Structure 1
Amino acid sequence: MKLSRTTNQTMQQKAAFFSGAALLVMTLAAFFAYGYVHSSLVIDGDAAATLKNLQASPSMFRLEIFGWLIILITDLIVSWGFYIFLKPFHPGYALLAGWLRLLYTAILAIAVSHLVIANSMVQSTISGAANQVMASITAFEVIWSFGLIIFGLHLIAVGLIAIDTRKIPKVLSILLVLAGISYSFIHFMYGFIPQMERFTGILELTLMVPMFIGELGFGIWLLIKGRKLTLDDY
C-alpha cells in the first residue's frame, strides 16, 4: 500500500511537471505558428496576395505547420498530465476534462491537415490555385475555431476541479473557468452567428487577458508548485 501510494504521488508530480512544461512549449509554438507566421502570410479575403506570400516564403509556411505539429504533441501530453494530476481531486471531472482535450486535439489535427494540403498546392501553376490554397487555409481556421469551443469546455471542467481544491489558488481557478467560458462563447459566436463578427472580435480583444492568463498561469503554477504537492496536500 505504501509503495502504491508513493508511486501514485510520483506519477502526479511528474504529470504536473510535464503538463506544465508542455503548456509553456505549446504557448511559444502558438505564438510563432499563428501569432507570427500565419498572421504575416495570410491576408484575409485576398487569395492572390496570400498565395504570393506563401510562394515567397515557403519555408516559413512549412515552419508554421511544424509548429502546429509541436502543439498537437504537447496537447496530448497535457491531456494525459491534467488527467493524472487532477484525478485525486475529482476523478469524474478529470476524466471528462481529459477526453474533451483529446477531442479538441483530434479536431485540431483535422484542421492542420488542411494546411498540409495548402502547402502541397503553393507551387502549383494550375488555374485557380490561389482560391484552392485559400479554401484550405479557411477550412483550417473554421475547423480550429470549432475545436476551440470544445477546448473552452475542457478549461471549464479543469477550473471547476481547481475551485474545489485547497491548494490550487482560487484566482487561477476562476481565471480557468472564465477563460473556458470566453473561448466557448466567442468561437460559438464566430461559427454560428457570423453576422455579429465585428462585435465578437471586440469581445475577444476584451477577454484576451483572462483567456491567455488562465491556462498559461495554471501551467506555470504546475511547474513551480504543483509538482511539489504530496497526496497529503489533497
Structure 2
Amino acid sequence: MKKLHRSEEFHRQPAIIAGLSLILMTLAAFFSYGYAHSTLVIHENADKTYDLLQSSLSLFHLEIAGWVVIILTDLIVSWAFYKVLKPFHSFYAILAGLLRLFYTIILAAAVFRLWMVSQVIQSDSGSASQVMVDILSFEKTWSLGLIVFGFHLIMVGMAASKAGFIPKLLNGLLILAGVSYLLIHSMYHALPEYETLTATMENILSLPMMIGELGFGMWLLVKGMKVKFSTRPSYSGAS
C-alpha cells in the first residue's frame, strides 16, 4: 500500500478522542497500579497483604474502579486508533484494533480476579494465601495480555509509518515500546529463572515503554486540535 503524505487524510475527532483517552488511562494506571496496588500488595507477605486490604478496602475498591476506567478507555482507543490509521494502511489498522480489543478482554479477565479478592475480603471467608493466589493470578494474566499489547503497538507504529506527516521518531518509539512489552513479558513467562534479569531490563526499558504510546497520544491530541482550529472559518473580513 502506498504511503500517504497528505495530512487531509487525518481524522481529527478520533485523534482527539484517542489522545484524551490515553491521558485519562495513564492517570488511572498511575493511581491503580503505581500507587494503590503497590501500596496494598506485599508479595513476600500474604498475611500483611490481607491485613492491608482489610484495613484499606476503600482504596482497593478505588483501584478496581481505576482498572475499569482503563478497560473502558482501552475500548475507546481501539476504535479511535483504527479510525485514525485506516486511511494510511487498512490492514495494519484493523489488526491493531483487534489486537487491542483482545488485550482488553484479557485485562478484564484479570481485573475480575481483583473483584473476587474484594468479595473474599468483605465476607472474611478466605485465607491470606488464597487472596495472594488471586492477586498473583491477576498479575500473571495481565502480563500475558501485555504480550498481545506489544504486538498491538508494533502494528500501530507500522501503520503510522505509512503516513508521511507523522514524525518518524513517534513511529520508532511505538515500535520500540511494542518490542519492549513483547520481550519483557515473554521472558517473565518463558524464562522465570531469569526474573531478576528481566526486571532489570524492564526498569531500563520502562521509559520507552511508557512514552511510546503516550507520546503518540499527545501528538494526536495536539494535531487534532490544530486541524480543528485551522479549519475553523474566519469572519475577520465580514461587515
Report matched runs for 1:1-234 at 5 Å: 12-126=11-125, 129-226=127-224, 228=226
- Alpha-carbon deviation of 1:123? 3.6
The 3 A distance-change label for structure 1 pair 29 and 103 is same
Gapped runs of 5+ residues in structure 2?
A: 1-7, 229-239
CA distances 1:111-153 after superposition (whole Å, capped 9, x unpaired): 0000000000114444x51111111111100000000000000
Equivalents in 2 of 1:142, 1:51: separation in Å? 19
TM-score (norm 2): 0.89
CA distances 1:56-92 after superposition (whole Å, capped 9, x unpaired): 1000000000000000000000000000000000000
Equivalents in 1 of 2:72, 2:63: separation in Å? 14
Equivalents in 1 of 2:122, 2:15: separation in Å? 44
Amino acid at match of 1:183: Y
Amino acid at match of 2:200: I
Gapped runs of 5+ residues in structure 1?
A: 1-7
Equivalents in 2 of 1:151, 1:227: separation in Å? 27
- Alignment identity in percent? 54
Equivalents in 1 of 2:75, 2:124: separation in Å? 38
- Alpha-carbon deviation of 1:227? 5.1
Q: Kindly indicate whether the alpha-carbon contact (under 8 Å) linking 2:13 and 2:224 is maintained by their aligned counterparts in 1.
A: no
Equivalents in 1 of 2:103, 2:21: separation in Å? 16
Q: Which protein shows a greater Rg?
A: 2
Equivalents in 2 of 1:222, 1:194: separation in Å? 37
Equivalents in 2 of 1:39, 1:143: separation in Å? 17
TM-score (norm 1): 0.91
Equivalents in 1 of 2:101, 2:152: separation in Å? 9
